[in-house]
Amino acid sequence: MPEDSKPPSNTPRRHRPRLTELAKETTEDDLWVLDDDEPVETPAQITQKPIVEPRRPAKEEDDEESPEQTDRVEPTLEVPKSTKPPLEPRPAPKAEPTTESDLEIPSEPETEPVSAPAPAPAEEAKNTPEPPSEPSRKSAPAIQPDRKEWIGLALLGVVCLGVAIWWIAGLFSSITTTRMGDDEPDFPVKGGLIQVRTADSFWRKPIRGGENADVARADVVQIPVAEVTLEGQGNGVLRAIFRDDQGEFVGDSITRSFTSGHFDLTGSPTAQFPATSGFTEDAAFNAYRVGGNRWTVEVFEGPSDNAPGSEFKLLFKAPISSLRR
């Protein structure tokens, strides 16, 4: 069979040159280069699937069909039913997106950065536009007060200062303060019959027995005592009266006679005048020691014990201190 009558195939055959077509300049290397020919592209063949007609299942109702239909018998092909479950179609593979990690790019050698020359500051200053300058605002001249205004301000300041002084003085004058030295007389105090050099006061418990027992009530725990020292050679008597913080008389009056400047009871210029009443509770006495209005003692001089009250004259009035003996 001649070479031209061979059926065509999908794969190209190797081309072998004929001896008559060889040129004189052909070398041995040119004869053995067989793979230089470009491959011939062959079109893909589409395979046709056989068309299967669906078979209508036979029903019991076919037995009741008309005799005309039963006479026609068509050849059927019975296929045994498969007990295996139908195969589910496989899902089509999803195309995974390519990431940068999948693409391998050959790394290029890093080049050293070349520092660019810094531009001159003068050129930048020329290129940057200057902001428009705001128009300068001239401040208005300050208004100077005239002479009348200065005088008015001065008078207003003087009035405010006077009101402040008056308010502060009234505030301090309305505050009542009680001190131990308040209302203390200036000793020595000279009377018509005798002169008193000093006078002291204190608190103590009443003496309940002995020759010098106090004439005080049984419920009293603290009594005030005034101690007086005479100066001079006079004769007469001194009488002491005690008052509480409300100005009421406390107990009885106490009288001591003196001769030639010495008390008859003690034989010395000094004698004590204990009250017949006082505080009945220690708590009340402690409150008196903390503060508040003071008790007072008033000392009068007279010619004798039996003289009427009109003949007695006040020598001094002194507060009772909070000292306790």
The bridge status of strand 296-302 relative to strand 195-204 is unpaired
Distance CA 197, CA 324 (A): 22
Give the tens place of pLDDT for each residue, 181-219.
457 888 899 999 999 999 999 999 999 888 889 989 889
What are the distances in angstroms from CA 139 to CA 136, 142, 143, 302?
Answer: 9, 9, 12, 90
Adjacent-strand bridge partners of 199: 228
Domain assignments of the chain as residue spans, ordered by start: 189-319
**Per mean pLDDT, which of 33-42, 77-86, 89-98, 218-227 is the most reliable?**
218-227
Distance CA 111, CA 115 (A): 12
Tell me the CA distances in angstroms from 82 to 59, 87, 217, 250, 283, one per residue in order: 20, 12, 135, 136, 119
CATH class for the region spanning 189-319: mainly beta
pLDDT digits (tens, 9 = 90+) for 29-70: 555 555 555 555 665 555 555 565 556 555 444 444 444 444
pTM: 0.46
- How far apart CA 223 and CA 205 sit, in angstroms, is 6
d(CA 123, CA 171): 78
- What are residue 229's phi and psi, to 5 degrees? -120, 125
| Beta strand ranges found along the chain (DSSP E) | 189-190, 195-204, 223-231, 236-243, 254-259, 262-263, 270-274, 296-302, 313-319
Residue 325 pLDDT class (50, 70, 90 cuts):
confident
